[in-house]
């Protein structure tokens, strides 16, 4: 029997000052001014329509991502958050995150975002090397990133995150670790430390830069992981590190196969119903089309056959052990349905099993794709 899991809300702001060459997110280079008021009204209309899917359920976390949400003025953020609170019931303890680009934030604006209800800021630092930031097409310099982090710390927010990349073009071992050291010195409660990957349909995809080789990447990763651990950060997902108690609740809800409404251009949603249905939604991707007022691009119900793969694809990202009973609670399927695949995964050494839990092993993490293939329909 399916139980309805915790509910989150994702809001997408689709514009950036310029497109970074590695970026395959739904972001559009700003030409002129953002149509802030018009866009926010559409996002709120979109949310109003989606609210029919959730009845009186309470939203536990909000994430405003992009694109560059910090391009929104303080007034626009206030209108957006007031509108959201009018439409849905927000948990008084809700984590409310927004992404900020260090090149687009000033002290007053950070403070006003906080007044609007933002209590967690995720700052896209990526590197503290001026040359690396230029290669990555970023619009900020190292000092702006540090200033943004200090501002976030001074505001006394519930938490803030620094986004940092490694494995950058021509990056040496010491440059990679120096970036990490400088991030740790700013004492963020959360660090997302992820490896640059070259995606198709990006500038880097068509003209790939020279990246550090596998041995160099491994050295940066193992040394960096130790540095983070020694500084008191616990890894809870492949790229996510947090001080105890500061994990990103919004992302954890995704990875535990929780529900989320997705509003704004190209946003994805997943909603479970007590009658056993799981619905996935995708919104119209391009701002022009979206602002014509037809928001839903696609939706489909997740079949019983697809649920095990979708569940484990999310759940195995988290390093914590998982309750076996959660599989049935959140997919509505009995464990018997995947018994043979589980036995295979245990036999291959990908997971271990106790009476109540499954735990992905080191071997399982290294061969995650092979592990997940077992659950493919
Ligand atoms: S700022 Fe972020 S969303 Fe915008 S283009 Fe760069 S990586 Fe993509």
Distance 119 CA to ligand 1 centre (A): 22
Residue to probe by mutation, ligand 1, list 21, 28, 67, most atoms within 8 Å of CB: 67
Q: Has residue 106 got a pLDDT over 80?
A: no
User: What is the distance in A from the centroid of ligand 1 to the CA of 136?
Assistant: 10
Which residues contact residue 62 at a Cβ distance below 8 angstroms, ignoring those fewer than 6 apart?
Answer: 8, 9, 10, 11, 84, 90, 94, 95, 96, 97, 250
Closest CA to 60 of 199, 254, 327: 254
Indicate whether 108 pLDDT > 90.
no
**Residue nearest to ligand 1 atom 8, measured at CA:** 23
Q: Does residue 245 surpass a pLDDT of 80? A: yes
Nearest CA to ligand 1 atom 2: 67
- What sections of 96-246 are H helices per DSSP? 107-116, 130-135, 142-154, 173-185, 203-206, 214-230
Which of 15, 19, 123, 205 most suits a substitution to test ligand 1, by most atoms within 8 Å of the C-beta? Answer: 19
Candidates 14, 24, 27, 285: which one to mutate for ligand 1, based on the most atoms within 8 Å of Cβ?
27
What strands, in cross-sheet order, belong to the sheet with 357-360? 322-323, 357-360, 351-353
CA 291 – CA 229 distance, rounded (Å)? 45
Q: How many CB atoms lie within 10 A of CB 48?
A: 14
| 363 vs 11: CA distance, rounded Å | 36
Per-residue pLDDT at 262:
98
Chain-centre distance for alpha carbon 181: 23
Is the Cβ–Cβ distance between 319 and 237 less than 8 Å? yes
Q: How far, in Å, from the CA of 162 to the mean position of ligand 1?
A: 15
Question: Cα(266)–Cα(276) distance, rounded to whole angstroms?
Answer: 26
Q: What pLDDT shows up at residue 377? A: 79
Residues with CB under 6 Å of ligand 1 are 16, 19-20, 23, 25, 27, 66-68, 101, 124
Best residue for ligand 1 mutational test, from 16, 98, 198 (most atoms within 8 Å of Cβ)? 16
How close is the Cα of 54 to the center of ligand 1, in Å?
Answer: 31
Backbone dihedral region of 19: left (phi > 0), alpha (psi from -120 to 50 degrees) or beta? beta
Ligand 1 atom with least separation from CA of 139: 1
Pick the atom of ligand 1 nearest to 18's CA: 5
In sequence order, what are the residues at sequence separation of 6 or more whose Cβ sits closer than 8 angstroms to the Cβ of residue 122? 97, 98, 99, 100, 160, 161, 163, 190, 192
Q: Closest Cα to atom 7, ligand 1: which residue? A: 23
pLDDT at site 126: 97
pLDDT above 70 covers what percent of the chain?
Answer: 100
Rounded-to-integer distance, Cα 132 and Cα 141, Å: 10
3-state secondary structure of 51: helix
What is the atom index within ligand 1 of the atom nearest the CA of 99?
2
pLDDT in tens, 164-216: 999 999 999 999 999 999 999 999 999 999 999 999 999 999 999 999 999 99
With H, G, I as helix, E, B as strand and everything else as coil, classify residue 281. strand
Which pTM was predicted?
A: 0.97
Give the Cα separation of 252 and 319 in Å (integer). 11
Residues in the chain: 377
* Average of per-residue pLDDT values in the chain: 96
The mean pLDDT of 97-119, rounded to a whole number, is 91
Compute the distance between CA of residue 45 and CA of residue 51 in angstroms, rounded to an integer.
10
What pLDDT sits at residue 105?
A: 74
Decide if pLDDT at 104 tops 90: no
The residue nearest atom 5 of ligand 1, judged by CA position, is: 19
Closest C-alpha residue for ligand 1 atom 6: 20
pLDDT at 247: 98
**Does 294 have pLDDT greater than 90?**
yes
Task: State mean pLDDT over 251-266.
Answer: 98
Please give the pLDDT value at position 281: 98
- Rounded to an integer, the average pLDDT of 212-222 is 95
53-82 tens-digit pLDDT: 999 999 999 999 999 999 999 999 999 999
The three-class DSSP label of residue 163 is: strand
pLDDT band at residue 1 using 50, 70 and 90 as cut-offs? confident
Report residue 298's pLDDT band, with 50, 70 and 90 as the boundaries. very high
pLDDT of residue 103: 84
Residue 107 has pLDDT above 80, yes or no: no
Measured from the CA of 137, which atom of ligand 1 is nearest?
6
- Atom of ligand 1 at shortest distance to CA of 27? 3
Task: Name the burial class of residue 214, with classes exposed (0-12), middle (13-18) and buried (19+) by CB atoms within 10 angstroms of its CB.
Answer: exposed
| Atom of ligand 1 lying closest to residue 22 CA | 7
Ramachandran class of 170: left when φ > 0, alpha when ψ lies in -120 to 50, beta otherwise: left
């Amino acid at each position: 029997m399916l139980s309805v899991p915790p509910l989150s809300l994702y809001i997408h702001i689709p514009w950036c000052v310029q497109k970074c060459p590695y970026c395959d997110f739904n972001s559009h280079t700003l030409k002129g001014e953002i149509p802030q008021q018009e866009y926010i009204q559409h996002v709120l209309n979109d949310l109003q329509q989606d609210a029919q899917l959730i009845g009186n359920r309470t939203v536990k976390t909000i994430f405003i991502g992009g694109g560059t949400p910090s391009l929104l003025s303080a007034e626009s953020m206030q209108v957006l958050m007031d509108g959201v609170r009018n439409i849905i019931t927000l948990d008084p303890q809700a984590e409310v995150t927004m992404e900020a680009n260090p090149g687009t934030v000033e002290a007053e604006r950070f403070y006003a975002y906080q007044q609007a209800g933002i209590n967690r800021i995720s700052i896209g630092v990526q590197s503290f090397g001026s040359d690396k930031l230029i290669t990555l097409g970023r619009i900020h310099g190292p000092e702006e990133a540090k200033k943004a982090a200090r501002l976030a710390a001074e505001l006394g927010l519930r938490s803030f995150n620094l986004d940092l990349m490694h494995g950058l073009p021509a990056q040496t071992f010491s440059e990679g670790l120096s970036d990490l050291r400088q991030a740790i010195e700013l004492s963020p409660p959360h660090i997302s430390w992820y490896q640059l990957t070259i995606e198709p349909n990006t500038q880097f995809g068509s003209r790939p830069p020279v990246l550090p080789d596998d041995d160099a990447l491994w050295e940066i990763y193992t040394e960096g992981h130790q540095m983070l651990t020694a500084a008191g950060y616990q890894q809870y997902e492949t790229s996510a590190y947090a001080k105890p108690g500061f994990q990103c609740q919004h992302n954890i809800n995704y990875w535990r196969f929780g529900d989320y409404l997705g509003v704004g251009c190209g946003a994805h949603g997943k909603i479970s119903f007590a009658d056993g249905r799981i619905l996935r939604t995708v919104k119209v991707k391009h701002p022009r089309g979206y602002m014509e007022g037809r928001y839903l691009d696609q939706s489909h119900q997740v079949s019983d056959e697809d649920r095990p793969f979708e569940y484990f694809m999310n759940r195995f990202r988290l390093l914590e052990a998982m309750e076996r009973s959660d599989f049935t609670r959140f997919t509505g399927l009995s464990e018997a349905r995947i018994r043979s695949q589980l036995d295979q995964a245990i036999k291959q050494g990908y997971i271990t099993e106790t009476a109540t839990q499954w735990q992905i092993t080191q071997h399982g993490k290294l061969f995650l794709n092979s592990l997940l293939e077992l659950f493919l329909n």
